Amino acid sequence: MTGAPLGAAPEPLLNVRDLSISFRGRRGQPLLQVVRDLNFAIQPGERVGLVGESGCGKSVTGLSLMRLLPSTAQISGQVHLGGVDMAQASTTQIRRMRGKSIAMIFQEPMSALDPVFTIGSQISEALRLHERLPRAEERERVIAALAEVGIPAPQKRIDDYPHQLSGGMRQRVMIAIALINRPQLIIADEPTTALDVTIQAQIMELLTRLSEERGMAMLFITHDLGVVAETCQRMITMYAGQIIEDAPVDDALMQPRHPYTSGLLRSLPHFNHERGKFAYISGRVPAPQDMPEGCRFAARCAYSADGCENPQDLRSIDAKRRVRCWRSEELSLDGAVETPAPVSSQTSGLSEQMP
């Protein structure tokens, strides 16, 4: 069962097998592999966080699922979505699936929205790709969609242009566009990174609520482990183009089984940590052109030993967890918590049942 996707449940919504992605360089430069042998599955309605440092291949993975990578990309492996083999699907079939089966939300709502059209007409356009409705009915649907993502006074805002909205409101519009055709899977690539923390909290709550109400699955790409903890059920950690750990989110946070996941968790700042002392992982990620044959994290790993120079498999260590470290069973790694008492809660005059 080496490397088989987890969650043996009936039929996964998304099934990714041996996905590798390389880019052709400019003028005779060699092919650079940026994602290698990705295997994972997402069940209907499941929210999965995809984390890892900058450049590890998160966005490229998301874009490849949408078939949105530029032509310089070489992709191998299989992606099945709702039973359809995406590699065999025709361009028209793919176009039909975008929006209806799978949709994507990006970090920068301003660059994804067209400045010369009203937000209403941009949502209508997305709707019209899949459904033809009488004009009045279409407008009703758009207003309902704006209301559902929490835009106040949607009857008025529908005729606004993107620049008339705040960053948070624009991201809500992007969500409305992505969701208008009721996709089964949303890929959200850093959807809250550009937003302020109080607005981020609103958007995360909105996405979680919509996912729950509609049974919509989500792949949440982010570098923020706090966001994953608060929105996802499962966490997939990538390092240098590979999955290195896949686990239920609470297990990954409390008892990571890969030294990189542990190091990442220990690197997070915390209100309770000793003042002026920060943990970190020394060294840096190897460049794609000099990726080692063996464990890609070994050079930075505090636990590296003889044996780490061998290629590492992503092994199932129990029914719900996979890890790419041959020493995983013998290591006892720190998680997000040293003492089980987090941020003090006797602060201020807030009562526990606050809405």
Partner 1 sequence: MTNSTATPPLASGTADGPVAEVRDLSIRFRTLDGTGELRAVDDVSFDIRRGETFGIIGESGSGKSTIGRVLAGLLDPSDGTVHFDGHDRADFSRREWRQARRAYQMVFQDPSAALNPRMTILDSLLEPMRFMGGMDRAEMRQRALDALERVGLRHDMALRYPHELSGGQKQRVNIARILPLNPKLVVCDEVVAALDVSIRGEILNLFVELQRDFGLAYAFIAHDIAIVAQISDRIAVTYLGKFMELGRTDDVIDRPLHPYTVALLSAEPQPLPAHLRDRTQLRLEGDIPSPLDPPSGCRFHTRCPWATEICKHESPAWRELRPDHFTACHHATPDGLPPLEIGSDG
223 counts as binding ligand ATP under rule CB under 6 A: yes
d(CA 198, CA 183): 27
Residue in the structure block whose two tokens are 């039973």: 83
192 counts as binding Mg ion under rule CB under 5 A: no
CA atoms within 13 Å, Cβ hemisphere of 100: 12
168 counts as binding ligand ATP under rule CB under 6 A: no
CA distances from 324 to 1, 130, 154, 317, 344 (A): 14, 42, 48, 10, 36
336 counts as binding ligand ATP under rule CB under 6 A: no
Nearer to partner 1, 73 or 199 (CB): 199
Q: Give me the helices (H) in the chain, please.
A: 58-65, 91-100, 109-112, 119-128, 135-148, 154-157, 167-179, 197-214, 225-231, 249-254, 259-267
Stretch that binds ligand ATP, among 53-61, 87-95, 229-237, 327-335 (CB under 6 A): 53-61
Q: What burial class does residue 108 get, using C-beta atoms within 10 Å of its C-beta: 0-12 exposed, 13-18 middle, 19+ buried? A: middle
Output the smallest distance, CB 273 to ligand ATP, in A: 24
230 counts as binding partner 1 under rule CB under 8 A: yes
160 counts as binding partner 1 under rule CB under 8 A: no
- Does residue 238 sit in helix, strand or coil? strand
Stretch that binds ligand ATP, among 58-66, 179-187, 263-271, 323-331 (CB under 6 A): 58-66
Write the single-letter amino acid at 53.
Answer: E
- Does residue 280 sit in helix, strand or coil? coil
d(CA 262, CA 244): 11
Residue 23 interacts with which of partner 1, ligand ATP, Mg ion, none, CB < 5 to 8 Å by class: ligand ATP
Residue 227 interacts with which of Mg ion, ligand ATP, partner 1, none, CB < 5 to 8 Å by class: partner 1
**One residue of 39, 59, 192, 242 binding Mg ion per CB under 5 A:** 59
Judge whether 146 and 118 are in contact, CB under 8 Å. Answer: no
Residues in 290-349 at the binding interface with partner 1, rule: CB under 8 A: 336-337, 340, 342-345, 347-349
Residues in 22-61 at the binding interface with partner 1, rule: CB under 8 A: 53-54
61 counts as binding Mg ion under rule CB under 5 A: no
d(CA 288, CA 292): 9
56 counts as binding ligand ATP under rule CB under 6 A: yes
**One residue of 7, 23, 77, 121 binding ligand ATP per CB under 6 A:** 23
Task: Give the torsion through C-alpha atoms of 326, 328, 334, 336, to 10 deg.
Answer: 90
Q: Which residues contact 165 (CB under 8 A, 6 or more apart)?
A: 119, 157, 173
Nearer to partner 1, 13 or 207 (CB): 207
Stretch that binds partner 1, among 87-95, 156-164, 223-231, 312-320 (CB under 8 A): 223-231
Nearer to Mg ion, 15 or 59 (CB): 59
DSSP 303-332: T--TTTTS----EEEETTEEE--TTGGG--
Stretch that binds partner 1, among 40-48, 59-67, 165-173, 315-323 (CB under 8 A): 165-173
- Contacts with partner 1, residue ranges (CB under 8 A): 53-54, 152, 166, 168-169, 196-202, 204-205, 223-230, 249-250, 253-254, 263-265, 267-271, 273, 275-282, 284, 336-337, 340, 342-345, 347-355
